[in-house]
Amino acid sequence: MALNLVAKVHPVVFFTIVDSYERRNPEAHRVIGTLLGTVGVEKGTIEITNCFCVPHNESKEEVAVELDFAKDMYELHRKVNPSEVIVGWWATGHEITDHSLLIHDYYSRVTSNPIHLTVDTTLHGGRMNIKGYVSASMGVPGRTPGTMFAPIPVEVISYSPEVVGTNATQKSKYSRQRIVEPSTDLHQISEATQNMEATLDALISYVDDVLSGKVPADNYIGRELTRMVNQVPKMSAHEFEEMLNTNMKDLLMVIYLSQLTKVNVSLNEKLTMLVATQ
């Protein structure tokens, strides 16, 4: 039992779960699968970075899970990323069913303190609720113990490439065809600058309202602002401009070398084809 755990989930996990739910059999009312990840550097955190679907048949009386398929898929994932291990299992739906305990018992034999993640793909309540659980023993001493699912916090974290992919995916909701074209690096920088400018304007407006007494001060926001300001490197405008120009020159040099390499490869291919035809 580890009730002090925190599950940190990456966006690719939710995309895989939703995709598996959309591809399910018509008679299946929910989908289950295995969660893969690593034990976080911080104590008491589990980072869930990947997952896969496990076929199963479920009725009111019984549940049957293809355990051999789950083992084979895990071995294939281990060949690609050996650092990922089984940390729990997931299921679609907004509630825990009677069969969840049986499935959780299997994963308890595979790993210690497995996490159970539920994703409400049916949008019960108007939103896709995400909840995490761990099993906890309960009962009277000397009697047959029972098991209950205790909730744990769930956080969504992302790597930098995942942020870019998620932002591009969100743009598709404004298109009727649900198609979005990848934007250039310059366009992404422009959008990021505009978003930062809008955020700074809202932040400055909030600080002015606090100083004038229009809104009450929030200690949490104040501590976060102090932490953010302390992270800004202290340098003069001349030093910042020199650093920016140096990085820009390095970037242009890398682009020039990559283009030169591409031309050399293309020229070599054409010369090889020309020699082969003679």
Extract the tokens encoding 62.
């019984």
Do 38 and 150 sit in the same domain of this protein? Answer: yes
User: Could you tell me if 115 and 20 lie in one domain?
Assistant: yes
Most confident of 67-81, 146-160, 166-180, 224-238: 67-81
Q: For position 85, which CATH number holds?
A: 3.40.140.10
Helix (H) or strand (E) holding 71: helix 67-80
Pull the structure tokens for residue 264: 């050399």
- 242/149 same-domain check: no
- Whether residues 37 and 142 share a domain: the answer is yes
Q: What is the pLDDT of residue 101?
A: 86
Residues 29 and 141 in one domain: yes
Q: Are 244 and 155 within one domain?
A: no
Q: Check residue 122 and give its pLDDT.
A: 85
pLDDT at residue number 42: 64
> Is 118 exposed, middle or buried (CB count within 10 Å of its CB: 0-12, 13-18, 19+)?
buried
Question: What residue type is assigned to position 107 of the chain?
Answer: Y
183 CB burial (10 A radius; 0-12, 13-18, 19+) = middle
Express as a percent the part of the chain with pLDDT over 70. 96
Q: Is there a single domain that holds both residue 134 and residue 271?
A: no
Task: Judge contact between 9 and 155, C-beta under 8 A.
Answer: yes
Same domain as 149, residue 17 = yes
Query: How many domains does the chain fold into?
Result: 2
pLDDT of residue 2: 58
Residue finishing a domain among 124, 159, 194: 159
Condensed to tens digits (0 to 9), the pLDDT of residues 48-82 reads: 999 999 998 888 778 888 889 999 999 999 999 99
Are the C-beta atoms of 4 and 150 separated by less than 8 Å?
no
User: Within this chain, do residues 32 and 129 fall inside the same structural domain, yes or no?
Assistant: yes
- Asked if residue 169 is part of any domain, the answer here is no
Kindly state whether residue 183 falls inside one of the protein's structural domains. Answer: no
What value does the mean pLDDT take over residues 237-246? 87
Q: Which of 159, 182, 214 is the last residue of a domain?
A: 159
Looking at the fold, whether 256 and 152 belong to one and the same domain comes out as no
> Which of these three, 159, 189, 206, is where a domain ends?
159
The reply to whether 1 falls in a domain is no
64-68 long-range contacts (CB < 8 A, ≥24 apart) are 65/32, 65/103, 65/106, 67/106
Q: Does the residue 26 lie in any domain?
A: yes
Judge whether 174 lies within some domain. no
The confidence score (pLDDT) of residue 41 equals: 58
Determine the structural domain holding residue 58 and report its residue range: 6-159
* Max Cα–Cα distance, the chain, nearest Å: 90
Round the average pLDDT of the chain to a whole number and report it: 86
Which residues 6+ apart lie within 8 Å of 169 measured at CB?
Answer: 180
- Give the HSE-up count for residue 273: Cα atoms under 13 Å, Cβ half-sphere: 6
φ, ψ for residue 90 (rounded to 5)? -125, 160
Read off the pLDDT of residues 135-157 as tens digits, 9 standing for 90 and up: 887 766 777 667 788 889 999 99
Q: How far apart are the first and last CA of the chain?
A: 74
Confirm whether 262 is domain-assigned. Answer: yes
Q: What share of the chain is helix, strand, coil (3-state, %, to 5)?
A: 50, 20, 30
Q: Are residues 133 and 257 in the same domain?
A: no
**Reduced to 3 states, what is the DSSP secondary structure of residue 194?**
helix
Rounded to an integer, what distance in angstroms lies between the CA atom of residue 18 and that of residue 13?
A: 9
* Cα–Cα distance, 266 to 251 (Å, whole number): 23
In a domain, 165, yes or no: no
Report yes or no on whether pTM surpasses 0.95. Answer: no
Least Cα distance to 32 among 112, 93, 75, 77 occurs for 93
The verdict on residue 11 lying in a domain is: yes
Residue 19 and residue 127 in one domain: yes
